[in-house]
Structure 1
């Protein structure tokens, strides 16, 4: 029984805590989400700025695969701009085997701060993504041997010796951050799934809306004779649920401020670079929610917010809850439970039959 809800774990953990315990927390959370029937858990890859501690998502996915039963586990994402295509493909097929078909390969250009540390400029990241992607697709899901030569990698009659576990092929998804339309265009060109972030990272100068991203993917698919499906489109944004709206805001406000100003703001050199023009700091969380970049509130608030997001985008397949550690682990766990027990059934229809049974019985009672 599926929820059509997953999580996107950058994972982000505020500095000052034990890194070992922070890493283990992610595995514990995914194990809980597996019990709650969440569909997917995505692990990001980061090598700088301290808050994103996972530099080897494949190891986290491998560990999580041994602690879970049904949840799909995804690389969110493998930066193709600095990983050799053969290594990306080899690790993907190994994880497809270890998870018994529960693995999703997410790809993208990588985080700019990581790229600079590796001597790459933003333009290099995009160019390398475009160059490497067809070779990765063929190595992972194709049968042909690959020969390819660029100024940064080479392949000579290459083919993986380990077969896939999944007969129909491993799902490959490309991440779209909204700062360009390269990812949607590539999704359409190759018929890939897509993960879009509902609001671009704070401080980014350019933002292409969700509807525009999907329209670009559809138009690209039509030009290249491919098909993209809305049910394979994921939209990611922070979500926090509590028993009341007031409690939910109280849970996350302090953590949100530290995440926004001490993480994104400090990384860009100033708090002003991530602030919403014309809004005081005390209203920044409210401004993000109003802009569609987060959902915070009661069950009813979040259900309404998801429905609004579906209407605004024209519909998507899976909501990925970005987990930024805005509050205690205990409150995050409670939020996930509320999402699974009360929010998800509003979209899957799993609560309809019990309610119908009750309503039918009550309707037949003698009038008093």
Structure 2
């Protein structure tokens, strides 16, 4: 009887059954609990449930920190282990969620061989494709966010590599998989925009120093940054005040790739009424130096805000006053310039946007008319 109970407890500890949800890393989300030596053939994992708490399919490798691939040394961002997904390989885990709530998935990923790698992420019936052509961090790892609306009480999270490479071992490395429940803020008479301070957003892994990429809207039907859409070919970066300079509060957004990296939100307006769009522009204290220009649009109205960055933090306030011409006005922000970090001259960076507010104004002085 005791042996039966012990075996049952062991089975519960390693099986991929649905677990109760809490914000943060999934159970064994950093893959520090690995397969038994009998379930490894070199680095390849043998057995669908060999990695505790996960179910795998296809060629999945268990990669230790410092593993050599040809002349390349593979580095793990957190802890000592990560997994690599080969052609058509996937990992999945089931968690208990609240039906009707929105959740964001955060994970770290790195390319190994291919330049055109991408990942499919899904929680049925929703899915998204996250491109990995552009790497934004100098160490080769980026963190990505994706969001979904819970349609049932159990979510099966799947990360899948759809690639078909000549070398089946060529595939992205995955580490630090986390989930956060999102609580989208509402508009108020103090701010007609939702989440203008960016305080509500995806989980930021505490041991990482490179923020979280918010993918383009075309790759993500439900934004992990509530209220906002990334209406551009490339991502924006979600920053925390622990590792970056943030103009106000504890979160902000970095516009990474010039006009290819834009943030947008549509808001109800009254035609003929005057409005003021106020926002902060700064730098993240991440060695992003030089002339930065943020362009802000409110429908057909626009303003360019220059900012000279020394890469050590700082911010300035700007305002765009306009008179609405339609019942819905599209607010858009992007960077006019392309910037790279001065410490490696290759990592894309850009101005920080924060504390965005849209209000109706009674005094129309200085309001642009069209």
Alignment TM class, shorter chain as reference: under 0.3
Higher relative contact order (CA 8 A, sep 6+): 1
More strand by share: 2
The normalised TM-score by structure 2 is 0.25
More helix by share: 1
Decide which structure has the larger Cα Rg and report it: 2
